[in-house]
Structure 1
């Protein structure tokens, strides 16, 4: 069905034909390429990799293939089993490991799986390192170990609890304030590992938890991407249970969406906005999100006297710019919170703890908190082109046309107008231009998108 190789890892559908799907052979090849990359960049004799997975049906199979491939390269493997992406990131640092692999396809449907690759800081590989891994896989440049030099495989448990402890120890996580607020929360973990992590965290925070789809069996009850159209069940249950809010995470728990007490969406773009508002209110500093994220983060940052900057799309790019600008919080508009006081990775556990601290301090309802932020509306579209068309030329033409506006070209073309913006990006795998717009009303955002679709068609 599909196999996608990129600098951030390998992702595909289970079964099918080698090189076209995520088959056992493709899994072994890419795991071996990552292992060789680790060995090429280390002078250590004994390397260790942390291995964790979400609850996908294929997870145990893929994890076994990856783990044993690394052992075959002479690399030690610590398998922490059912886990979350941020938990594996934290575990790499806690164990002073040399790298990590998370077996997860994030928000993709259950037939998909993937290998997400981490360095010794528990962070995703940068572009250069990712390219090197791809090259090793392409050239089959593997050297496996002889029998006396095989790596050791062992299992370790309780890393989710260790992760929770790290979150609770964060200075701005106000456990007592949350307990005093006596909150009731509904949790939709789409039957993956968030069903282990989020209820356990809420218990430590003294929050009453109503579980919805929290059995980590990999049978996703709805499309696992935490978007409004997929969240009708939790919206109804929040109202029925008279809960204070709903919490939704994706299968690997790096995206966080919230539901207000009336069943309306808090808005995944506003998860980061709210958490940043809380953090900036306690600690002065700067923020970063990607070019396709809401302008609301900029507004909140400037309200607190900080400086906002936007990076190219992709968590690695956000992290890189956060480090350069000493940002104290950042992330992506898809509900990903990156809080350096914890670690440089999107983390829904950190997001939940910061948001509940904010809500408890605010002494208002979830809906009232959302209404305190500026309202922006987004429109996400794409235009398909023939393979012969030069997408880069189209984007350059658009950028030149709007040269008198605030134009950013680090990742496609983003044009900032006074009250709205448009971001045009080409796909790396298809002849497609993605068109993201934001404005002060949904109608305006949709109209802006249609305007640029028409302008692109005129150029073509």
Structure 2
């Protein structure tokens, strides 16, 4: 069976519009393919709050039970809690039913290995091959799997986060915090975590109904109506989660939306204060974290884009923290998944220890401007376009681990070809917005020339 053309298949799972590319049949087949790689073993299943998740849950259970899997159904739970549960229960893997930050009509499956990390590309390719071939493990009538509901693993996840900081230091400040969970899976855990930290929490859309209060991707462009409430309620900070709660966006005490790149930078600053060590970020993440690592005398490594790639390099370098510039923080003490609850705890700790408002902490970070653009370029022309970019900036440091990255003295360009359309994505970062715009324009001229 071929993969439907309107179904997106990535290294960690599948995603599509429910009722179109993503159906119960497709979902059951992918779950059966995953189940075939862990046949008869324990598998964690969870979902975000999207209403379509209940239908897809039944399809996932059918696929896994047919492979004889012992399913631990933890219900509606954040993606990092799902990864945490895998390690907590010594499971062979997990399936999280989520479309992350995609709009409401979308849903998908995100798959985890026994280490609680999203599947690497090679394992994902095996599962896709099983799906396409229909080569599933099929249990006899007396070997069908089972489903049970374990104790509340979210509470254990929250305690693990609290164990990484001084709760008393944060609680002593009695912060008032605005939490926007946007009806996603992270509302209950986020609310409880903030209560445990002694915060007075103003809750917005914290019930996990999946009926989004605004566009689901937590970027400044989608938070214009929400941001003023932080100042109106006299909150010290606003935290915004995406639907499956693996990203954290920030709003400062003035009601200003902060770049999603800042979340990781502040977390890196705090973590290196706790324990110096290696930092891992991806090729498209701001240089802020790199500069902070250098200031702390610590190495910073860059991986290819993608959570699985970041995690792989974190393991190889024994990093103490890593993540991506989309608001994703990974602390290996908790798990191998982007975890906004870690980010919340670290940022509140930084505010409490330094006795500074969030706006001041942000202003004290290294200052850069980033611009993301794309240009139409045929796949056949990509090698020529990349060579032309190298010739245009001959003095730049070159990295080809993920497309082409060029590093200048105080700027960088990252150029990647799309796997699904004839475009190249160009990201530039420089000390000023004008310089970043100029770099993107010049790169666009080169690759389309």
Superposition TM-score, scaled by structure 1 size = 0.94
Matched, 1:364 2:356: yes
Distance 1:377 1:137 in 2: 43
Does the 8 Å CA contact 2:377/2:448 hold for their aligned counterparts? no
Q: Which residue of 2 aligns with 1:129?
A: 123
For residue 386 of structure 2, the aligned residue among 395, 415, 424 is 395
Partner SS, residue 181 of structure 1: coil
Q: Which residue of 2 aligns with 1:446?
A: 437
Q: Which residue of 2 aligns with 1:423?
A: 414
Q: Which residue of 1 aligns with 2:427?
A: 436
Q: Which residue of 1 aligns with 2:160?
A: 166
For residue 7 of structure 1, the aligned residue among 3, 8, 11 is 11
Change in Cα spacing, 1:287 to 1:415, as seen in structure 2 (3 Å) is: same
- The CA deviation at 1:384 is 2.1
- The CA deviation at 1:386 is 4.4
Distance 2:163 2:233 in 1: 30
Q: Which residue of 2 aligns with 1:284?
A: 276
Aligned residue runs from structure 1 range 121-160, under 5 A: 121-160=115-154
Deviations 1:79-117 (A, max 9, x none): 000101000100011111111110011111111111110
Does the 8 Å CA contact 2:47/2:53 hold for their aligned counterparts? yes
Matched, 1:60 2:54: yes
Structure 2: gaps (5+ residues): none
373-382 or 394-403, which deviates more: 394-403
Q: Which residue of 2 aligns with 1:42?
A: none
- The CA deviation at 1:38 is 2.2
Q: Which residue of 2 aligns with 1:201?
A: 193
Partner SS, residue 142 of structure 2: helix
Distance 2:174 2:11 in 1: 44
Does the 8 Å CA contact 1:81/1:157 hold for their aligned counterparts? no
Does the 8 Å CA contact 1:257/1:335 hold for their aligned counterparts? yes
- The CA deviation at 1:351 is 1.1
- The CA deviation at 1:157 is 4.5
Distance 1:399 1:326 in 2: 32
- The CA deviation at 1:74 is 0.8
Count of residues in Structure 1 that have an aligned counterpart in Structure 2 = 445
Does the 8 Å CA contact 1:48/1:97 hold for their aligned counterparts? yes
Runs of 4+ in 1 over 6 A off after TM superposition: none
- The CA deviation at 1:73 is 1.2
Does the 8 Å CA contact 1:7/1:134 hold for their aligned counterparts? no
Partner SS, residue 116 of structure 1: strand
- The CA deviation at 1:403 is 4.2
Superposition TM-score, scaled by structure 2 size = 0.97
Partner SS, residue 150 of structure 1: coil
Aligned residue runs from structure 1 range 8-23, under 5 A: 8-16=12-20, 21-23=21-23
Structure 1: gaps (5+ residues): 40-45
For residue 231 of structure 2, the aligned residue among 232, 236, 239 is 239
Does the 8 Å CA contact 1:50/1:79 hold for their aligned counterparts? yes
- The CA deviation at 1:430 is 1.2
- The CA deviation at 1:455 is 1.0
Q: Please provide the CA RMSD for this pair.
A: 1.3
Partner SS, residue 395 of structure 1: helix
Does the 8 Å CA contact 1:391/1:431 hold for their aligned counterparts? no
Distance 2:97 2:31 in 1: 11
Distance 2:331 2:115 in 1: 15
Q: Which residue of 2 aligns with 1:111?
A: 105
- The CA deviation at 1:401 is 4.5
